[in-house]
Amino acid sequence: MSNIKEKIKETYSLVVNPQKQSSGCCGSVGGCCGNSPEFSGFNENYENMPGYNPDADFGLGCGLPVQFANIMKGDTVLDLGSGAGNDAFVARSLAGDTGKVIGVDMTEAMVEKATKNKSRLGYSNVEFILGDIENLPFPENYVDVVISNCVLNLVSDKRLAFDGILKVLKPGGHFSISDIVLSGPLSDKMINIAELYAGCISGAMVKDEYIATIRESGFNNIEIKKEKKIILPDDFLLQYLSTRELENFRESGVQILSITVNGVK
């Protein structure tokens, strides 16, 4: 496994077991989205969603993909980067007792936490397995809906990931994915600074390239359902930039964005 993946696993293991960390998880090893002590603007409020369980919500998302996933009773739903089960449990409430929800995560601690949450809730039609988004362990035409929340930005080969999503979806199936993108290229210095603020920026693609990658994988009816700006505060940036550098960044107009995008096989 690559060093990047090892660091991501370490980060999210520390989210589950914070007593083991010696410094902030996002700043120390990178990859933790929305859980920085300085940051509160990524995660969406799930409290009014059916099936929401606060024990499964570590505040690591950047959207609310289940809100736009059009999950129907009886659907089989695949949650990529399922963490402690937050989106999976909401999806389960929408798919109902006749549906099925499968969560895939590459961090053992998260899979263990999600499985404990599932057992406590008594759900027999939800399962969590250890797996890699770039090599999904499912046959073709297996699921109706794929969801993911602020995870694909951490995947190094996004084309490979979307190719895998296309493969496992049934004909006519669809995905709803929340992720971090950029409106234009950031300088290396700004990437590094943004990474200090919330560790999910460095893997982010420019939005147009991200959408093009989805289209090249073969998806149709690609639609951005929600988009919001992520603002890096001036007082934070001025710890690392001069006043003039900050002005240049603001004048560039480049923005960090949270988007929720849907596509159909």
Q: What is the pLDDT confidence band of residue 41, given thresholds at 50, 70 and 90? A: low
pLDDT for the residue numbered 200? 65
Q: What does each C-alpha distance from 186 to 31, 57, 77, 229, 256 come to in angstroms? A: 18, 30, 35, 15, 9
- pLDDT digit string (tens) for 43-99? 788 989 999 998 888 877 889 999 999 999 999 999 999 999 999 999 999 999 999
pLDDT for the residue numbered 239? 87
Alpha helices in 49-130 (DSSP H): 86-95, 108-121
DSSP 135: B
Mean pLDDT to the nearest integer, 163-183: 96
DSSP 54: G
- pLDDT digit string (tens) for 134-161? 999 999 999 999 999 988 988 889 999 9
C-alpha span between 146 and 106 (Å, rounded): 17
DSSP line for 7-42: HHHHHHHHHH-GGG-SS-HHHHHS---S--TT--SS
Which has the higher per-residue pLDDT, 173 or 19? 173
pLDDT for the residue numbered 222? 98
Q: Which of 7-21, 26-40, 156-170 has the highest mean pLDDT?
A: 156-170
pLDDT for the residue numbered 199? 61
pLDDT for the residue numbered 237? 85
Q: What does each C-alpha distance from 205 to 72, 102, 156 come to in angstroms? A: 31, 27, 10
- How many residues are recorded in the chain? 265
- pLDDT digit string (tens) for 200-239? 676 789 999 999 999 999 999 999 999 999 888 888 889 8
| pTM metric for this prediction | 0.85
Q: Does 28 score more than 90 pLDDT?
A: no
pLDDT for the residue numbered 196? 61
Q: Which of 46, 264, 259, 6 is nearest to 153 (CA)?
A: 259
pLDDT for the residue numbered 202? 64
For the chain, what is the mean pLDDT? 85
**Partners of residue 223 on adjacent β-strands:** 262
Beta-sheet pairing, 205-206 with 126-130: unpaired
pLDDT for the residue numbered 179? 92
Q: Does 7 score more than 50 pLDDT?
A: yes
Instruction: Give the angle subtended at the CA of 68 by the CAs of 133 and 151, to the nearest 5°.
Output: 25
- pLDDT digit string (tens) for 94-131? 999 999 999 999 889 899 999 999 999 999 999 999 99
Q: Which of 153, 166, 149, 156 is nearest to 200 (CA)?
A: 153
Where b means 16+ CB within 10 Å and e means fewer, 176-214 reads: bbbbbbbbeebeeebeebbbbbbbbbbbbbbbeebbebb
**Partners of residue 132 on adjacent β-strands:** 135
- Which is the CATH superfamily of the domain at 3-264? Vaccinia Virus protein VP39 (3.40.50.150)
Q: What is the pLDDT confidence band of residue 26, given thresholds at 50, 70 and 90? A: very low
**Domain positions in the chain:** 3-264
- pLDDT digit string (tens) for 184-198? 988 888 877 776 665
pLDDT for the residue numbered 204? 84
Q: What is the pLDDT confidence band of residue 14, given thresholds at 50, 70 and 90? A: very low
Instruction: Give the angle subtended at the CA of 113 by the CAs of 109 and 114, to the nearest 5°.
Output: 120
